[in-house]
Chain A
Amino acid sequence: KAGVTQTPRYLIKTRGQQVTLSCSPISGHRSVSWYQQTPGQGLQFLFEYFSETQRNKGNFPGRFSGRQFSNSRSEMNVSTLELGDSALYLCASSLARGSRQETQYFGPGTRLLVL
């Protein structure tokens, strides 16, 4: 079974631009979560989607948004990029929400560099 895939793997943007990252979950997984990883802040939860609905949201400004499609694929968007948005963005998928199968499997991440 294919794992979680994320595209693109690497991205360079300039301040003020916007960016869209994509995540394809493991086949059959309906829950997708996004995390930001930085050396200073570690792993921080961004949001979680299940059945095309945002279920949880972390403490990030409104510039960070996301969505999930009917095939469970998810995208996250960051508008008006700031230098501090440079990070590794990780996507994780899980089979269901709140059940004993609540193991999140992570993709390789998208490394975003904002100049």
Chain B
Amino acid sequence: AQSVAQPEDQVNVAEGNPLTVKCTYSVSGNPYLFWYVQYPNRGLQFLLKYITGDNLVKGSYGFEAEFNKSQTSFHLKKPSALVSDSALYFCAVRAPLSGNTPLVFGKGTRLSVIA
């Protein structure tokens, strides 16, 4: 069964500094990996995904993520954080179509960008 770990419940970063939100996964086969962001009282917004190809994936709002197969990681990054980036971030994984393969989410990491 697939699983996702987001080791940090909370990440604090100063505005203008680079940010990293960590994610590691476990899945059989080549994974589909996703990052979503959730603002207060809102649903999840899609940021980016990795299906195959270039290990560095660029997404919305200046975010990017690097797929590392050997470390089974898919960390979310942004070169310069904004206060408006403060939100709850979820990493998710889905195995290639094979039987029962729902989207599995991590517990989420709360990002706080301080002005």
Contact = CB atoms under 8 A, between A and B. Distances in A.
B44 interface: yes
A86 B97 CA distance: 31
Contacts of A97: 97
Interface of B: 32, 34, 36, 42-46, 49, 51, 90, 94, 96-97, 100-108
Contact of B44 (A57, A58, A90): A90
A99 to B, nearest CB: 9
A104 B43 contact: no
Size category, A interface: 20 to 34
Interface string A84-113: 000000101000011010111111110000
B96 to A, nearest CB: 8
Contacts of A102: 32, 51, 94
A24 interface: no
B102 A45 contact: yes
Given A102-B32, A107-B43, A56 B108 contact: no
Contacts of B49: 103
B65 to A, nearest CB: 14
A104 B103 contact: yes
Interface of A: 4, 33, 35, 42-43, 45, 48, 56-58, 90, 92, 97-98, 100, 102-109
A43 B90 contact: yes
A106 B97 contact: no
Nearest to B36: A106
Contacts of B97: 97-98
Contacts of A35: 105
Contacts of B104: 45
B40 to A, nearest CB: 12
Contact of B102 (A33, A98, A106, A109): A33
A4 B44 CA distance: 11
B32 A104 contact: no
